Structure 1
Amino acid sequence: MVRRLLRDDQYERIAQLLPGRAGSRGRPAADNREFVEAVLWIARTGSLWRDLPEEFGYWNSIYKRFARWSKAGIWHVVFAALAGDADFEEVFIDSTIVRAHQHAAGAPKKKGDQALGRSRGGLSTKIHALVDGLGMLAKFSLTGGQAGDSPAALPLLGELRPGSVAADKAYDTDALIAHLHTIEAQAVIPSRASRREQRPLDEHMYRSRNLVERFFARIKQFRRIATRYDKLSERFSAFVALTAAFIWLV
């Protein structure tokens, strides 16, 4: 028997967010839980869809359903609902590189940018993450692996007004520092050596930046996140949203 990941109480927290629930439009989906378990199995093991255990159902039907839900943004809806519990008094921003398998390349150009690029380690994707004071993912975005870290910071912050923002010195840019000053948030970011005036740094708060590193270590226990196999960023982003939602449930 395949090991399952969701307890009854965990599934109940997301059941009303899924298509096919009682009272929603469309056909009822009595097997939503089995389907979510199947996608979690793929995310955890990193296996090919064809290798999905038969007890979950026919692999191609599950794959097509996953693709439909990804296009409709269902996984992001579930993640956003759970991430609504985030505590934004302190936030931490960083990025991590995900190596892309050779099968991840080759998406049709008409599909647009797929957040793939060539960095020093080869073909890769970068996950930019904003975690809260408990190290839980609140927001994320994807870029090609060659992209810089700092340009993703302001879009991640958006309308948030945290008490402090911690990041490494790669985020020490005039635009970000000015924004944090405007929203009266403490910048826990080391100054670049080239800055004429070095800002004071709260070393105690900066040490807590390891929370975002610990989150990356945790989410990469899901092998479908540790290595990117999906050609479309839409699909890979869906896996990130699903696994982050699962971490919120644990």
Structure 2
Amino acid sequence: MELTNEQWEKIQDLIPDPVKRADGRGRPAKDKRQVLEGVLWILRTGAPWKDLPARFPPYQTCHRRFQQWQEQGVMRRVVEALARDLMERGGVDLSECFIDGSFCMAKKGGLLLGKTKRGKGTKLMAVTDAAGLVLSVSIASASPHEVGLVEQTLQERFIAPMPQRLIGDRAYDSDPLDEKLREKGVELIAPHRKNRVKKKTQDGRKLRRYKKRWKVERFFAWLFNFRRTLVRHEHKAENYLAFVLLACMKIMLRYF
């Protein structure tokens, strides 16, 4: 079982029912929970669709429904609803948030791919709150520097409020980024690059918060336990992001 009964009750109203034919013909539609659990099996194992075990609906059905949900934005709506619920319960701490990026090897062509020293791939960005709860994910070509992806990642956040502080590694030490975030009410905290020539903008007291950056790294460890997110097999970038959002959903459900 990919979902407990309690977890299913939390999200079942957010998963659309299959569309019925107007003439009433055709086979009865497969139960949406069974279909979702088939998709989650693919997410967890990283296996090809055709290897879906017989205990789930046919892989063609699960793949078709996954495509429909992706096109309808179902995955993002589910994650946003869970994030809002946690925020209303007081389970989100925006006092200090953490940002990081990870490289994902790509096996097929498609958009949002870039060449790096490690090969062709996609950059996966994430922001977590003070406790490590994921607040935003976004994908981009692996070629651009992470400092140029910060604003896009914040725009993709699951809840409306902005972080009070955003903490990253040396890759995010940028005076222009610092200024842009300050205008949005966000304080950027990052260690200085060794080749920094301008005046220092951080002090030791602020950088103590940097020691807790392992929380965003832990999120990536949790995320990549879902093997379909570890390597991008999808030609469509939207499909890969949908799998990432499903993994975020599974991680968020642990907090309920």
Which residue matches 2:210?
206
Quote the Cα distance in structure 2 between the aligned partners of 1:140 and 1:175: 22
Contact 1:166 1:187 in 2 (8 A): yes
Contact 2:178 2:187 in 1 (8 A): no
Structure 2 gap segments, 5+ residues each: 21-27, 87-91
Alignment of 1:2-17 (within 5 A): 4-17=1-14
Match of 2:14, SS state, is coil
Amino acid at match of 1:99: M
Q: Does 1:99 align with 2:108?
A: no
Quote the Cα distance in structure 1 between the aligned partners of 2:29 and 2:208: 49
Quote the Cα distance in structure 2 between the aligned partners of 1:174 and 1:188: 11
1:131 aligned to which of 103, 107, 128: 128
Which residue matches 2:196?
194
Deviation, structure 1 residue 42: 0.1
Structure 1 gap segments, 5+ residues each: 108-113
Quote the Cα distance in structure 1 between the aligned partners of 2:184 and 2:72: 34
Deviation, structure 1 residue 145: 1.4
TM-score, reference length from structure 1: 0.87
Contact 2:112 2:122 in 1 (8 A): yes
Quote the Cα distance in structure 2 between the aligned partners of 1:195 and 1:87: 34
Deviation, structure 1 residue 204: 2.2
TM-score, reference length from structure 2: 0.85
Identity within the alignment, %: 32
Q: How many residues are paired up?
A: 234
Shifted more, 88-97 versus 191-200: the winner is 191-200
Which residue matches 1:110?
none
Which residue matches 2:24?
none
Contact 2:38 2:52 in 1 (8 A): yes
Quote the Cα distance in structure 2 between the aligned partners of 1:173 and 1:220: 29
Amino acid at match of 1:134: A
Quote the Cα distance in structure 1 between the aligned partners of 2:149 and 2:161: 14
